[in-house]
Amino acid sequence: MTTDALYQELNYVDHSREKRLHYAQLLLSDTTLISKTLDILFMVDNKISPRAGWILEFMCAKNLEALIPYLDRFTQNMGKVHLDSAERPVAKICQYLAIAYYGKTPSKIKAALLPTHREKIIEVCFDYLINDIKVATKAYSMTTLFLFGKDYDWVYPELTTILERDFANQSAAFKARARLILKKIKQ
């Protein structure tokens, strides 16, 4: 399937779990489509871009290791994504990567996720926290930053400052996640 053909297919992707799972399975059955999905995701001003993010997120939920050959490209370009509905899946993928990296179960992510990848993820997650974006993206970013803060001693002080500063002006969902993260940091 060409990038153009995949682009046309993404017109049929909606918020339904069934559609996202179908296309995520398509990516896993033909991994050459992952690169093409990234091409579309990084068409950052295009309304189809978020749909590529949605199916990529679902693919990562099923098999995160399928993203390993594309980690350089993903981390180098994810900061360019700016549509709200595309930022959320990017942040969720970052959370998946952080959880796999620090998880107790063996994962190829532990060896593949290099310091340069982690630093790019940290940078983007901090950008998500300080900018005016949707709460789900901020929540995934908090968790990601908390996990990576285990190895980067400057992350916790910065994260604490941002969460405490923004706490009063944010939604109930933000406050709930922020409370949880702040409690974990203090332990």
What pLDDT is recorded for position 173? Answer: 86
Cα separation, 55 vs 26, in Å, equals 9
pLDDT in tens, 15-24: 788 888 888 9
Q: Say how far apart CA 43 and CA 35 lie, in whole Å.
A: 13
Secondary structure element (H or E) that encloses residue 11, with its range: none
Q: State pTM to two decimals.
A: 0.93
Instruction: Please state the length of the chain.
Output: 187
DSSP 113: S
Which pLDDT does position 7 carry in this prediction? 87
Residue 90: its H or E element: helix 84-102
The reported pLDDT for the residue numbered 136 is 92
The domain defined by 3-186 folds into: Leucine-rich Repeat Variant (1.25.10)
CA dihedral 59, 152, 108, 68 (to 10 degrees): 50
pLDDT (average), residues 84-107:
95
Q: What is the pLDDT of residue 17?
A: 86
What's the pLDDT tens digit per position in 100-146? Answer: 999 998 889 999 999 999 999 999 999 999 998 999 999 999 999 99
pLDDT at residue 3 greater than cutoff 90: no
CA distance 12 to 25: 15
Which one, of 51, 63, 44, 45, lies nearest residue 12 by Cα? 51
The amino acid at residue 57 is E
Q: How far is it, in rounded angstroms, from Cα 148 to Cα 142? A: 10
pLDDT at 5 over 90: no
Task: Provide the pLDDT for residue 36.
Answer: 94
pLDDT per residue over 25-63, tens digit each? 999 999 999 999 999 999 999 999 999 999 999 999 999
